[in-house]
Amino acid sequence: MKFNLNEFLLAVSFALDFVEIDIAGRRTNHGKRVAYITLRIAKKLGFKDEDLYDIVSLAILHDNGICEANNDVIHDKINDKEHAMEHCITGERNVENYPFLRKRKNIIKYHHEKHDGSGFYKLMGHEIPLMSEIICFADFMENGFTLDKMCDENKRKIEQFVNQQSGKIFKTEICEAFLEIAGSTSFRLDLGDNFINAALDQYTPQYTVELSLIDIVKMTDVFSQIIDSKSKFTRKHSKGIAEKAAIMSDYYNYGFDEKTRLVIAANLHDLGKLAVPNSILDKSDKLTEDEFDIIKSHTYYTRVALSKISGFEDITEWAANHHEKLNGFGYPYGKNASELDFNSRLMGCIDIYQALTEERPYRRPLPHDKVIGIMQGMADEGFIDKDRVRDVDKVFQLNN
Ligand SMILES: [Fe+2]
Ligand SMILES: [Fe+2]
Ligand SMILES: [Fe+2]
Ligand SMILES: [Fe+2]
């Protein structure tokens, strides 16, 4: 399948940026802004197109480890040293199988290394991969300054800081490249919330690579892991659904293509949950109506993100319909039976089955028979597909 990796990443990165807001208290579009600054500097330093393409991916993904790192850590400690180092390790591990155009090792692991050796790993100068150093610089500047308001006083402050740190915590060439680019009006405007997507698109070299569906599964596995690690109650949720989707596909004798696409949909079905604050996901008391409304938005976000990816039309449906119900009482659209195809119905059933067999803040995991009993009740009331419940029961009763 012809695939534009960065089209995919840009589509899903809004979800990563929501995590940054929730966990690290960042502004909106942190990852995208870091990617833009990184890209402009790399271009100035003469990077070739393939390297530019990959460094944009890496910059968008630079803090992907922050999700898992957050578990069991209290929020006000989020920026402490040890914790931050952990997100570099987790982030590197998460992208191990990501299909970059070339092999990229340790770029994310070392994205907090400083030129003078004052980073977590104490690497200095040439010991640090150049890509990591650029991302580190872009990240530091995006966190420390409002670069999209780079006028007058703020502009002087920024220039003064960069000049001071040139050759110290940051490599001189990176600082010089930045200062050359940052003076232009378009640089400041490109970084604005309304323009950052278009700006990234404008400067990123356009590549479509031929990826097998297996490569795409690997890529979406990365996101499945990030999504699952957001809450300790869903550590195996997307993975479990992907496994069950594969088993059900075999049961229905699906061909390789449909089976793999269903697995991809399973991997990404809860992508929008990255945009839901952990304070709501992990709440042990009953959710308020407002909080439940926020939860309900997650499949809307999943659809908005996936619908931007060419070739993902059916995957988008199967992923984003999983909380719709046959009788129209689902969300976020309130679709009805005629709008829900076989695999959307199946995904809805697998999601319920998986969720009920997992622990939640307010209950223990439920055994197979109890889960099927609940699902049959839902089918009797017209919410979900009776035949799919029967099949799920048949296939999974032996495993439990
Ligand atoms: Fe970071
Ligand atoms: Fe960051
Ligand atoms: Fe969901
Ligand atoms: Fe789910």
Give the SS3 label for residue 224: helix
What residues are neighbours of ligand 1 (ion), with CB under 5 Å? Answer: 63
112 Cα to the center of ligand 1, angstroms: 6
Which ligand number lies closest to the CA of residue 266? 4
Which carries the bigger pLDDT value, residue 75 or residue 168?
168
- pLDDT score of 74: 40
Q: What are phi and psi of 318, to 5 degrees?
A: -65, -35
From the CA of 210, how far away is ligand 3's center (Å)?
Answer: 30
Question: 161 C-alpha vs ligand 3 centroid, how far in Å?
Answer: 45
Distance 305 CA to ligand 3 centre (A): 15
For 120, the token pair is 């977590």
Query: Any bridge partners for residue 210, and if so which?
Result: 2
What would the pLDDT profile of 354-392 be if each residue is shown by its tens digit? Answer: 999 998 877 899 999 999 999 999 999 999 999 999 999
Structural tokens at position 211: 């990826």
Residues 40, 42, 48, 49, CA torsion sign = negative
C-alpha of residue 322 to centroid of ligand 4, in Å: 8
The structure's pTM equals 0.85
Give the model's pLDDT for residue 70.
54
State in Å: Cα 108 to ligand 2 middle: 11
Where residue 76 falls among pLDDT bands split at 50, 70, 90?
Answer: very low
Q: Which residues surround ligand 2, an ion (CB under 5 A)?
A: 63, 139
Task: Count CB atoms within 10 A of the CB of residue 78.
Answer: 16
- Rounded to the nearest angstrom, the distance between the alpha carbon of 63 and the centre of ligand 2 is 5
pLDDT attached to residue 308: 87
Burial, 79: exposed, middle or buried (Cβ in 10 Å; 0-12, 13-18, 19+)? exposed
Mean pLDDT (whole number) for 127-154: 92
Could you tell me the two tokens for 374? 């609940």
Q: How remote is the CA of residue 175 from the centroid of ligand 1, in Å?
A: 19
Whether the Cβ atoms of residue 81 and residue 69 lie closer than 8 Å to each other: no
Give the residue among 215, 219, 321 at the shortest CA–CA distance from 272. Answer: 321
Predicted local confidence at residue 78, as pLDDT? 47
Q: Which residue has the higher pLDDT, 342 or 154?
A: 342
Q: Where are the beta strands (DSSP E) in the chain?
A: 2-3, 209-210
> Residue 63: is its pLDDT beyond 70?
yes
Residue 251 CB: number of other CB atoms within 10 A? 13
Which ligand neighbours the alpha carbon of 354 most closely? 4
Question: Residue for token digits 């040139």?
Answer: 166
Residue 92 has pLDDT above 90, yes or no: yes
* pLDDT confidence band for 217 (50 / 70 / 90): very high
Would the pLDDT of 148 be above 60?
Answer: yes
| Ligand lying closest to the C-alpha of residue 87 | 1
Q: Any idea which ligand is nearest the CA of 298? A: 3
In the reported structure, the alpha carbon of residue 74 is separated from the centroid of ligand 4 by a whole-number distance in angstroms of 25
H or E element that contains 188: helix 185-190
Cα 374 to averaged position of ligand 1 atoms, centre (Å)? 43
Q: Which residues contact 130 (CB under 8 A, 6 or more apart)?
A: 45, 171
| Residue 241 in this model has a pLDDT that exceeds 60 | yes
Contact partners, residue 307, CB within 8 Å, separation at least 6? 313, 316, 320
Q: Is the peptide bond before 332 cis (omega within 30 degrees of 0)?
A: yes
CA-CA distances (angstroms) from residue 23 to 9, 163, 245? 20, 31, 31
Give the residue-averaged pLDDT of 78-91: 74
- Judge whether residue 57 has pLDDT over 60: yes
- As a whole number of angstroms, the distance between CA 233 and CA 319 comes to 20
Q: What is the DSSP string of 110-163?
A: TTT--TTS-STT---GGGS-HHHHHHHHHHHHHHHS-GGG--HHHHHHHHHHHH
User: What percent of the chain is predicted at pLDDT more than 70?
Assistant: 95
Say what the pLDDT of residue 165 is: 97
Ligand lying nearest the CA atom of residue 299: 3
Ligand 3 centre distance from Cα of residue 281 (Å): 11
Ligand nearest, relative to CA of residue 91:
1
Distance 393 CA to ligand 3 centre (A): 21
Give the distance (Å) from ligand 2 centre to CA of residue 222.
18
Backbone phi, psi, residue 166, to 5°:
-60, 125
pLDDT digits (tens, 9 = 90+) for 10-37: 888 877 887 777 777 777 889 999 999 9
pLDDT of residue 153: 87
Residue 288 has pLDDT above 80, yes or no: yes
**Distance between Cα 383 and ligand 3 center (Å):** 16
Taking the C-alpha atoms of residue 321 and residue 146, their distance in angstroms, rounded to an integer, is 38
Q: Which ligand is nearest to the CA of 132?
A: 1
Q: Which amino acid is at 376?
A: Q
At 199 the pLDDT is 94
How far is it, in rounded angstroms, from Cα 5 to Cα 98?
10
